[in-house]
Amino acid sequence: MNEIVYQPDAGRDRHRRLFAQMRRDLAASAGMARQMLLRQLRAEYRQTLTGGFLAFLPALGMVFWAVLADRAKTLDAGDTGIPYAAFVLLGLVAWQTFVEAINVQIETLASERSLLAKLDLPPESLIGAALARVLVNVAPKVLVVAVVFLFLRQGVPWTVVLAPLPLLVLGLLGTALGLFLAPLHALYHDVGKGLQAVTTFWFFMTPVFYAVPKAGLFRTLVAWNPVTPLLGLTRDLAALGTS
C-alpha cells in the first residue's frame, strides 16, 4: 500500500514548477504554431493581389478624411507635435494591432474548434499562431507608414527601433482580452456583436485622431484607457524620439 506523506512546505515550489511547465509547453508547441501560422497566411493571401495592403486601405481613407477635417478646422486635434497625417496613421496602426489581436483569438477558436476536438493539439500553439499572425500583419502597415513619412519628410529618430515593443504589448493585451472572450463567444454569439459596439466606443475614447485633452472628464476617461499610454509611446518612439 502506497503511503502519502504531507509536509508543511510541500507546495513551496509549486509556482516555480508551474512556470517551468509553462515554458516546456510553449517550447513544445512552437513547431505546431509555426505550421498553423503558415497555413493561415496561405489561406488568407492565396488569392489576393495586394496582400496585406488591402486591409489597410480603410485606414488610409480615415487618414485622408481626418487631414481634410483638420485643415477645414472642423476637428480640433490639439497639439500633435508631428504632421497630422503621420499622427493619425501611427495611432491607427497601434489601434488596429490591439483590436485585431482580440478578434483573431475569437476567430481562431471558432474556426479551429473541430480541429481541437479531433486532434490532441496543445492550446498554446493556437494562441501563439494567432498572435504571430497579428504581428505579421503589422509589416505591410509599417511599410505604408514609411512611405507616408517620406512623403511628409518626417524625420525618424533612433528610438524608432524600440517602437515595436509597445506594439507587442498592445498585441498581448488584445490577446488576453480575446482569450477571455473566446469561450463566451463560443457559447453566446451575441458576444461578437457586443464586442463590435464596445470597440467602436473604445475607439473614440482612444487618442487616435486627437491629442490627449488637457483637462476635464473627457481627459480622465482617455487617461484611464489602457490603450492610451501604449499608443502614445508608440508615436513618441516612432516620430518624436521621446517617451
Determine which of 39-43, 126-130, 142-146, 218-222 has the lowest per-residue pLDDT on average: 39-43
- Mean pLDDT over residues 95-99, rounded? 92
**Does the pLDDT of residue 1 top 60, yes or no?**
no
Between 71 and 31, residue with greater pLDDT: 71
Indicate the pTM of the whole model: 0.78
- pLDDT level of residue 42 (50, 70, 90 thresholds): low
CA-based angle 71:73:78, to the nearest 5? 95
Please, are residues 178 and 106 in contact by the beta-carbon 8 Å criterion? Answer: yes
> What is residue 153's three-state secondary structure?
coil
pLDDT at 8: 54
Which residues fall within 8 angstroms of residue 53, CB to CB, at 6 or more apart?
140, 143, 144
- Determine the Cα–Cα distance for residues 211 and 87; give it in Å rounded to an integer: 9
Torsion angle, CA of 219/223/224/225, rounded to 10 degrees? Answer: 110
- CA 21 – CA 10 distance, rounded (Å): 17
CA dist 107 and 157 (Å) reads 37
- Residue-level pLDDT at 46: 58
**Residue among 18, 53, 78 nearest 222 (CA):** 78
The C-alpha atoms of residue 136 and residue 123 are separated, in whole angstroms, by 20
* pLDDT for 210: 85
pLDDT at 53: 59
